[in-house]
A and B are shown apart, each in its own frame.
Chain A
Amino acid sequence: MANGYMGKVLRVDLTEGRITTEDLDMDRARAFLGGRGLATSYLYKEVPADVDPLSPENKLIFVTGPLTGTTAPTGGRYMVVTKGPLTGTVACSNSGGFFGPELKKAGYDMIIIEGKSAKPVYLLVTEDAQELRDASELWGADTHTTTDRLLQETGLKRARVACIGPAGEKLVKVACIINDKHRAAGRTGVGAVMGSKNLKAIVAHGSAKVEPASGDFRDVVKTKVEKIKADPVTGEGLPKLGTKVLDNIINANGLYPTRNFQTGVFPATNEVCGEALVEKGYLVRNSACFACPIGCGRVVELPNGLKGEGPEYETGWAFGANCGVSDLIAVTEANFLCNELGLDTISAGATIACLMELYERGLVPDEDLGKGPRPVFGSGEAIVYYTRQMALREGIGDKLAEGSLRLATAYGHPEYAMVVKGQEMPAYDPRGAQGHGLGYATSNRGGCHVRCYMISPEILGVPQKLDPQTTEGKAEWVKTFQDLTAVIDSSGLCLFTSFALDAQDYCDLINAATGYGLSVDEMMQIGERVWNLERMFNLKAGIDPSQDTLPKRLLAEAMPEGPNQGAVVKLEEMLPAYYQVRGWTDKGEPTGEKLQALGLGS
């Protein structure tokens, strides 16, 4: 096919041990583009929204976009779509590296995993063979060991592996899927869904070419790569310091969540920031995903000999400022553990931060800690210890494994869980950026910064600078960011391109690959369609619009210090406008008219 797609879907029934290939529904591909949108459309059709996420009836979908595996800049993304066990919402976790392109080279746009295997298995996908193989010997292995052993066992040295570690096997609700050892489909517990199906790994290998529709594709790509390299964010800031270029910026702007969002300023930021990673000599070099001209990845080696990739901004924050920890070595070790054991770094760090606050408030008895160190803010020992406990469900780790909301609820105080719809919020205190708070509250997968990165205009000034403390006009911005992000997630590109590229650029790339001839408005409508479909799934799953909210701390407790001292999130000023801009009822439900207009009417 010369349109960016391979035209094939692999359907794997783990219960029956049956693997079939079917044609990709091209009408669906046209309507939803690929990636996040396409897989969500399959999930919506095939999985009852009230399904138990860890039951065999849930499905786990690995999906690429039409730009995945092409030479489009950052065309290496794939997504994992399912119903998330952490939140009960639709889950779409995005990852980079090289696994996604390899899936397309093996000849597939998407793999749909159904049912549950009676024993641990891994799936091998090549152009010539698609088979389930015994993974009993690998069960219990960390993601690095698993990857190495599978490459050896299959004899396919250039294959790519996506797998779970012990956390996914033990159905830890914040377990992730790791590919290429250091890349994660991180959030919402997608790793637990994989573990619930006794699926240890997918090994992909192939040499098929992904063919774009237009003979001008190469020229279009060239202009976009030049734009990305010339942009100061994607051409300089991200390559040099990685995403941890943000630590000092966010702290100086007073919205760096510290000690479980108790404040927005961390005095020891200099010890754990991106500059420190370089100045302390831990950074070896940067690394890039498939076809990526940015190279924001960090290859790191610690003085104690431990090596790996990261920490990224979110990880460094989750185990750093959010836990009050200024020990960059401990933060990096916790990061490495998450990659090896298969944990979402944001939720893992934030859940430990929640434990720390509960403990310091006298709500966690010492006997619950077993032999573990006291989980007090600032303890580097605690963040490493309890990360491992969480992944293995050992001791209090069994409670940590359920995520911060269930943890805090178990100790009688759910208000200390900094979550939206049950998922831990990332590294920006929305009392310092009102629009970002609206984005958190309305995210379809719970606490998430990438569904709508309002930090870009409100703090970073890209594409233009908005006053972070105003609420007027933020609803329109949030909708636009959410819809454009849904397009990018459905295309197979990385969100970081959006610091340099605009909507027209994405339209040019998508059209050159697919031949769809979309206008920008038509492309944005695809994003709106994806957003509304996710909303419909969530409503059917029982996620009431009353959950479009934030923790009480952010709505009612003024920021105690720093540039945003006195601020709370003025959600009540923005949410009604957001529903209106979305064309939803004032109760937050898509109207029949809106769904018809998007082609989603039943």
Chain B
Amino acid sequence: MSVREVIEAAARQLNRPEMVSKLLGPEAQPRRGTIILVRGRNILHGKGLDEIVHPGDEVCLFPPAGGG
């Protein structure tokens, strides 16, 4: 599955349709500051939402965050 498909599947399973709009902006790309990691690496440095997720991979979804 691609990361995009994982997000959509997770939103359905958790019954949280707003997950998709929170993580992905109007162009269906990660919103600024959204952090999506596959195997610890940010998808923006790979194939983006088309990055393929294999069984056993850890996918991390984080909203925009900041701190000190």
List residues of chain A with CB under 8 Å of any chain B CB: 231-234, 236-238, 241-246, 248-249, 252-254, 296, 312-314, 449-450, 453, 456, 459-465, 467, 495-496, 499, 562-564
Contact = CB atoms under 8 A, between A and B. Distances in A.
Contacts of B67: 238, 242-246, 296, 312-313, 496
Interface string B33-45: 1110101111011
Nearest to B62: A249
A260 to B, nearest CB: 21
Given A252-B60, A462-B33, A246 B65 contact: yes
Contact of A563 (B33, B39, B44, B62): B39
Contact of A449 (B60, B63, B68): B68
B55 interface: no
B64 interface: yes
A495 B68 contact: yes
Interface in B36-59: 37, 39-42, 44-45
14 contacts: A232-B64, A248-B60, A248-B62, A252-B40, A253-B40, A449-B68, A456-B66, A461-B32, A461-B34, A461-B44, A462-B32, A465-B42, A562-B40, A563-B37
A461 B68 contact: no
A236 B37 contact: no
A452 to B, nearest CB: 12
A249 B45 CA distance: 17
A465 B62 contact: no
Interface of B: 31-35, 37, 39-42, 44-45, 60, 62-68
Contacts of B64: 231-233, 236-237, 460-462
A420 B67 CA distance: 21
B61 to A, nearest CB: 10
The prevalent SS among residues of A at the interface is helix
Nearest to B61: A252
B68 A460 contact: no
A236 B31 CA distance: 14
B9 to A, nearest CB: 20
Contacts of B60: 248, 252
Contact of B63 (A232, A242, A244, A296): A232
Nearest to A496: B66
B68 A450 contact: yes
A234 B33 contact: no
Rank and list the top 4 A-B pairs by shortest CB-CB distance, nearest first.
A563-B40, A243-B67, A232-B64, A233-B66
B37 to A, nearest CB: 6
